[in-house]
Amino acid sequence: MVSNLRLDGKVAVVTGAGRGLGRAYALLLAARGASVVVNDLGAELDGSGGDASYAASVVAEITAAGGRATANLDSVATEAGARAMVGQALDSFGGLHIVINNAGNFTPARTFLETTSESFLAIMQVHLMGAVNTARAAWAHLVGQGHGRIINVGSHTAYFGHSGRFEYAAAKGAVHGFTMSLAMEGEPHGIAVNLLAPGAGTRPVRSWDDQAIFSTEAFAPELAAPTALWLAHESCDVNGQAIGIIAGASSRIVIAETRGYQSRSPTPEAVAAHRDAIVEPGDVSASNLELTTGAVARGMELVQRFQLLPAA
């Protein structure tokens, strides 16, 4: 029997916490006792502009419910902004234990030839370097205290692909590699680093896919928050993993290889002759694995399963 997972005495930084998934993470962490730095510029989807009211509104919700929170408007896309945000956590609450790197900017759907070097770099600067900058700013403190939890937000798009989302898929793929490597360095210091790949009916999803299903209860951001809290809790022994969460379904995303074909003297013809051994995974019906093609297809499958679940 798992005891009630509380975060009393813990301090969390949640980036991009003014709306959507970030807001859901911040509210649940605070409800379970954490003091939360609510970071959000209040920017448009492309990263332009800013509105301090979004972070302030989440802080107001938390404090009205008896929790502790402070708003932060620094940009995680810069090292200085990330340092200031971590400094605010330490100054306001006297510590830092949990970091959720959720902030992101987005581009409209486009063909590959419509992308530019600038469009790739703009997305990388927030999704990848935002996570790097924030983790770096917090790292020495977490190592020094011998404990910490970092959750980097990824996407099924990075693993399964999504037509027209080249910049986003590339950035989230880079976040995966960063997460797995940082987890190796963090483990001896008591720091767990994991990736959460959530699906929810947030602003970018609604702008990308004009499907009414993304407004249903299956895509409520609140369905992703419990898994984030579990990964943030000190009792969670998971490290260096990617956890997908769509429509209330939590699952590990596995990067695997087939047994393949091996030879001391391979030839192109021999490789071609062993095509199935190299490419086909074989029968996985006895495993706990499911194969999918495309992030949207995976999401739709889980929504259909959600709709068959008994009402809570």
Main-chain dihedrals φ then ψ at residue 244, nearest 5 degrees? -85, 145
* In contact, 179 and 194? CB cutoff 8 Å: yes
Annotated active-site residue 159? The verdict is no
Give per-residue burial for 151-162: e unless 16+ CB within 10 Å, then b: bbbbbbbbbbeb
* In contact, 74 and 81? CB cutoff 8 Å: yes
Tokens for 241?
A: 């993993």
Give residue 303's Cα distance to chain centre.
19
From the CA atom positions of the chain, what is the Rg in Å?
A: 20
Cα–Cα separations (whole angstroms), residue 295 to 58, 263, 271: 30, 35, 30
Question: Which residues are within 8 A (CB) of 220 and not within 5 positions of it... i.e. 6 or more apart?
Answer: 200, 201
* In contact, 197 and 176? CB cutoff 8 Å: no
Q: Is the dihedral of CA 255, 259, 265, 269 positive or negative?
A: negative
User: Which residue of the set 25, 54, 159, 168 is catalytic?
Assistant: 168
Residues annotated as part of the active site: 168
